[in-house]
Amino acid sequence: MRNSMRPTRQTILLALFVAIASALHVAESLIPVPIPVPGIKLGLANIVSLAVIVMFNWQSAMLVVLVRIIIAALFGGTFLGVTFALSLSGAVLSTAVMAFVYKWWQPPFSLIGVSIIGAVTHNMVQIIAAALLVSSMDLLWYMPYLVLFAVPMGMITGITLHYFLAKLTRLKLV
């Protein structure tokens, strides 16, 4: 589907995805997470990253992620701060891993599997970045709790994406 897309159309769609991703990123920072673990996030914006990987390619996804993180940081007033560094490292690496898994291991994994791998990578990279930040490897103690949290979140984003892509195809938007 990507070959038939004209450059203007592609630019507009990517801009829309950046807008959706930024809105999700800002919205999820307003939702309190029940467990107080540094760097934990719902990962709703990951839906958009994976959607762009599927509809376009990994380069476009990386671009959308970078622009989204910068815009969201400007909205939240966290630009170049701790939160910014954590979301940047988590989002960039999880997008890279998702792109790799999508390209080579899908199948056997479905989009939900790819999404779970992305969510787990996101949380693991964030906690490692946080541990480096406070120079204390004790933070890695949180890792199993983060994995337990990431698995259902990855499933939810994967299922959302599944229906989102089905709808897009039906509307002939892509």
Nearer Cβ to other proteins, position 100 or 145? 145
- Burial (CB count within 10 angstroms: exposed 0-12, middle 13-18, buried 19+), residue 59: exposed
Site for other proteins in 150-169 (CB under 8 A): 150-151, 155, 159, 162
Q: What is the dihedral of CA 99, 103, 107, 109, to 10 degrees?
A: -20
52 interacts with other proteins by CB under 8 A: no
Angle, helices 111-133 vs 82-104, to 10°: value is: 150
Q: How far apart are CA 107 and CA 132, in angstroms?
A: 35
Window of 6-14, 19-27, 55-63, 81-89 that interacts with other proteins by CB under 8 A: 81-89
Structure tokens at 162: 């599944």
- One of 11, 57, 59, 110 touching other proteins (CB under 8 A): 110
- One of 39, 43, 90, 118 touching other proteins (CB under 8 A): 39
Structure tokens at 149: 């949290």
Contact residues: other proteins, CB under 8 A: 36-39, 78, 81-83, 86, 105, 107-110, 112-113, 116-117, 120, 130, 133-136, 138-139, 141, 143-145, 147-148, 150-151, 155, 159, 162
